[in-house]
A and B are shown apart, each in its own frame.
Chain A
């Protein structure tokens, strides 16, 4: 197209200024970092003994395995009373874990919110540490630990879910508290209120609605976790999952996974609806 040009072609002159996209040393650092990351990923694949062929074909294989071994799901199995009762157990566990977790998370969040923490030397780091350690350890590990202390059963599952919910809700609560308007807090402090009174009268009214929403969301997430705590001895649906996985009853496993998906979708829908209702009612 250049021969049809309408612009003056005087730009090819020898004294034309030069420009290059690459600048030393910024571009070197940037591309060097990128290269290092790629090398690290490649080395990881090697280190982890990942068969690249298997990785590339994994999704196709996944579809093949699902259609060969997991189809058709044994739906009669999941409509059995024993299993339906375990769904109810799972629901109850998630409610209890969520409720206890939220109740414990509120004081911890209060301690670990820098702006209103009652004691920045002692309680603030304690609250932070509590929330962070609950968060850092995965719910399945909590389950295994509680099972080893409390034995198999839903008490261990509820305790594990409680820890999980403290970590999950505690962080969201603390973030919410740290974002409040400090005006009322100062007013209360100026009026001579104690830390607890400040929390009750200046903080709680501001975060009540947000906390309710977070609490509902916590339950939703806790339910997702509750579907698997049984796998490690915590009771509920996961226990059936484990038994059938071990017995290689793949069609039943498929049905159980399907039921988990359906229940989680219902829970998610319910929690979305509730949160919308709370936001409307505020």
Chain B
């Protein structure tokens, strides 16, 4: 520790520094607040039809409609819930299959061509994550028609980005020593990957896939909103027929399904690691 300089000049300098820092932080916050105010003005105050909302009582009344459960919907819930769950599972597995080649292209140390295919792999990763699952679903609905298939494909495409990114990073961080050993015994390219690389990355990849599966249940539950079946479709129908207690029922089903997913993924992750 250096001795503390308590001369008046040094103290003044300290004070100056402090004031400067306060000024800087104050300026940043002021800017942020002005900016937020502008956003509020543009998006909320001008864009909202306040008479439609109808004051506090109106809001309370429209929120209140949701506070009941339509238990009569119970038998209709079973199959969509199952569909949602299955769509998430199949979509995740399909996403893993798509991720393999993408991760292979996008991992700097194993990519077959650093100049052309590596950027292609990286671009596919970004593309997959930057397009929202609803948009993916819309595209696939128009490509393969209504039904569970576009939902599965949308979930798969949306999962590719994250899974392949983490996998590529895991491949880039592997320990080169086992790889060298497999090359030294005369192993070919496939054997080097299967024995040298795969055992090192699979815990990370599996944990990522389980994580993504958990999220995919959430995504799967809304695929029906654009015509891909499952709980989303039921939600949409209840909403369109103004059966608000039915809507609440569907939401409860979604919550329970997601809770189940969390519990399963918690135990799966423990089993993997």
A257 contacts B by Cβ under 8 Å: yes
Q: Indicate with 1 or 0, residue by residue over B78-113, a CB within 8 angstroms of chain A CB atoms.
A: 000011001101100100000000000000000000
User: Could you tell me the distance in whole angstroms from the C-beta of B161 to the nearest C-beta in chain A?
Assistant: 11
When C-beta atoms are compared, the residue in chain A nearest to B62 turns out to be A149
Interface status of A151 (Cβ within 8 A of chain B): yes
Q: B185 in the interface, Cβ–Cβ < 8 Å?
A: no
The residues of B that contact A65 with a CB separation of less than 8 Å are 139, 142-143
In the bound complex, do residue B86 and residue A48 qualify as a contact, i.e. CB atoms below 8 Å apart?
Answer: yes
A224 touches B132 (CB 8 A): yes
B140 within 8 A of A: yes
How far in angstroms is the closest Cβ of chain A from B238?
A: 11
Contact bitstring B159-191, A, C-beta under 8 A = 1, else 0: 000000000000000000000000000000000
- The majority secondary structure among interface residues of chain A is helix
Of B44, B127, B258, B259, the contact of A158 (CB 8 Å cutoff):
B44
Closest to A235 in B: B47
Chain A interface residue count: which class? 35 or more
A261, B139: Cα distance in complex, Å: 14
Q: How far is the CB of B30 from chain A (nearest CB, A)?
A: 15
* Contact pattern, B 118-153, Cβ under 8 Å of A = 1, otherwise 0: 000000001100111011001110111001110011
What separation, in Å, do the CA atoms of A260 and B136 have in the docked complex? 12
Chain A residues engaging chain B, CB cutoff 8 angstroms: 40-41, 44-45, 47-51, 54-55, 58, 61-62, 65-66, 69, 88-89, 92-93, 95-96, 99, 133, 136-138, 140-141, 144-145, 148-155, 157-158, 224-225, 227-228, 231-232, 235, 241, 245, 250, 253, 257, 260-261, 264-265, 268
- Residue ID in chain A nearest B59 by CB atoms: A149
Pair A137/B251 contact, Cβ less than 8 Å? yes
B36 close to A99 (CB less than 8 A): yes
Q: Which residue of A lies closest to B257 (CB)?
A: A136
Asked if B135 and A228 sit within 8 Å, CB to CB, the answer is: yes
Q: In whole angstroms, what is the CA distance A58 to B83 when docked?
A: 20
B239 CB–A CB distance under 8 Å: yes
Please give, as numbers and ranges, the residues of chain A lying within 8 Å of B235 by CB-CB distance: 141, 144
- Within the complex, what minimum Cβ distance (angstroms) separates A47 from chain B? 6
Contact of A245 among B126, B132, B138, B244 (CB under 8 A): B138
Select one of A137, A264, A265 contacting B255, CB under 8 A.
Answer: A137
B255 and A144 form a contact (CB under 8 A): no
Is B246's beta carbon under 8 Å from chain A? no
Q: Are B148 and A49 in contact, CB atoms less than 8 angstroms apart?
A: yes
